[in-house]
Amino acid sequence: MSRAILTLNAGSSSIKFALYEMAAKGLRRRLSHGQIEGIGSAPHLVARDAAGAILSEHRWAADAKLDHEALLTPLLAWITAHLGEESLAAVGHRVVHGGEHWDRPVRLTPAVIADLAKLIPLAPLHQPHDLAAVEAVARLRPRLPQVACFDTAFHHGMAPTVSRLALPREFAAEGMRRYGFHGLSYEYLAGQLREQAPALAAGRVIAAHLGNGASLCAMHDGHSIDTTMGFTALDGLVMGTRCGNLDPGAVLYLLQEHGLSVSAVEHMLYNESGLLGVSGISNDMRTLLDSSDPHAYEAIDLFVFRIAREIGALTSSLGGLDGLVFSAGIGEHSAPIRAAVCARLAWLGVECDGDANTRHATVVSMPSSRVQVRVIPTDEEAMIATHTMNVLYPVTARSTQEESRVSSPVSRR
Ligand code: ADP
């Protein structure tokens, strides 16, 4: 068996993973994927094969207080048993924040890890979990190379005017600026678009990553020009449980008039707002689309309105619009949401093709549409694995650089 790369995406309640077989010229295929979910309540590990069949399962006692080392031990043991002792070549991590310095994937050393830990105040809900997974793997497999892939890196080239916050200058010096997130997804989508429609990819395109977290990215020739998330992943669109952009005066009001603590407001803005907060029903778009409750409709309507409004703003950043790409859970699977967003963009010359949209075709706009609308499934894990391989094996990677930059490096199923 040839060697493999493990990708880890560690969050507060789950660790998602995927395992890729390496070939001489890039990645050959995804061998397995899965997650450890229920962290903090009833942890449960499931590894599946390419067809979705369960390969391995592990359950811990409910309410077991487990650190990342305890959680990752059975995963690494299963991989060793599954692939053989020497087969795991490296681990690639999704790390949410690369700050101002880290503009590309990097091999993790103690010095790099220490530097990334300094960014915890910029992403207190994500960065500690990402780094805990890195440190756990370092303890469990000290000789295994590890690579960090940053969600912010793709947006690193945004112009100063786009990334500046209108606060007193001294705060910019400590890193208060707009960074943008979902960068691994956008990089993957840019590569896919370059492969599928090179002329369009060279133009002005807005990609819509619409999952539980949601954002837009304005790309020109595959480079990020502007994006809706900013200093934190709270900014921009209405999300499953996050509020998106909000008058900062509203935060002051909650603190002053309601006497809420800072952590209570933080919890509200990250976990109780967005689709869940407005509907009072669910953060899950499928549940809301199936509901006849008027509050579900209001939440969906606001979600769509804000996407269309931000597309207007990003079209200004791009100086026009040639293409629109829908991706992630809602963007890939919800024809009604795509149709509703497109209907609000008729002024831009967007014409949705109802039949193609219902069929989830690759192109869902009419031939006469001034803006071509496409649906592209995202794959952040494949992007992480590709970067990890390119960082660790640059000579091999060099011969396949173009391939890995522009294409889905592996077949997903
Ligand atoms: P995450 O950000 O957690 O990776 P996903 O990209 O998986 O999220 O997206 C989750 C969202 O996608 C949920 O709101 C879910 O309801 C929605 N979704 C998934 N399938 C469909 C569907 N067929 N129709 C509408 N929404 C869907």
- The CA 333 to ligand 1 mean position distance, Å, reads 7
Of 184, 238, 186, residue with least CA distance to 213: 238
Ligand 1 atom nearest the C-alpha of 212 is 2
213 Cβ inside 6 Å of ligand 1: yes
Q: Over 70: is that where the pLDDT of 397 sits?
A: no
Domain over 198-375 is classified CATH 3.30.420.40: yes
Which residues line the annotated binding site? 9, 16, 94, 209-213, 284-286, 329-333, 380
Q: What is the pLDDT of residues 1-35, one digit of tens each?
A: 679 999 999 987 889 999 999 987 788 899 999 99
Would you state the pLDDT for residue 202?
A: 98
For the whole prediction, is pTM greater than 0.85? yes
pLDDT at 44: 92
Residue 207: its pLDDT value, please? 98
Q: Is 328 in the pocket of ligand 1 (CB under 6 A)?
A: yes
Instruction: Give CATH superfamily name and number for 3-150.
Output: ATPase, nucleotide binding domain (3.30.420.40)
Average pLDDT over residues 256-260: 96
Q: Is 60 exceeded by the pLDDT of residue 409?
A: no
Binding-site residues for Mg(2+) sit at 9, 380
Q: Which tops the pLDDT comparison, 38 or 342?
A: 342
Task: List beta partners, residue 218.
Answer: 206, 226
Q: 208-222: per-residue pLDDT in tens?
A: 999 999 999 999 999
What mean pLDDT do residues 397-411 have? Answer: 44
Q: How many Å lie between the centroid of ligand 1 and the Cα of residue 283? A: 10
Pocket test for ligand 1, best of 229, 287, 330 (most atoms within 8 A of CB): 330
CA angle 292, 293, 297 (to 5 degrees): 85
Which residue's CA is the nearest one to ligand 1's atom 27?
Answer: 330
Catalytic residue positions? 151
> By alpha-carbon position, which residue is closest to atom 13 of ligand 1?
284
Q: Which segments of the chain belong to CATH 3.30.420.40?
A: 3-150, 198-375
Residue 408: what pLDDT? 44
Q: Is residue 358 within 6 Å of ligand 1 at its C-beta? A: no
* 332 CB near ligand 1 (under 6 Å): no
Q: Are 393 and 401 in contact (CB under 8 A)?
A: no
pLDDT of residue 395: 59
Find the mean pLDDT for residues 94-119: 96
Whole-number Å distance, alpha carbon 341 to ligand 1 midpoint, is 16
Q: Is the pLDDT of residue 117 over 60?
A: yes
Q: Does the beta carbon of 26 sit less than 6 angstroms from any atom of ligand 1?
A: no
* Mean pLDDT rounded to a whole number for the chain: 92
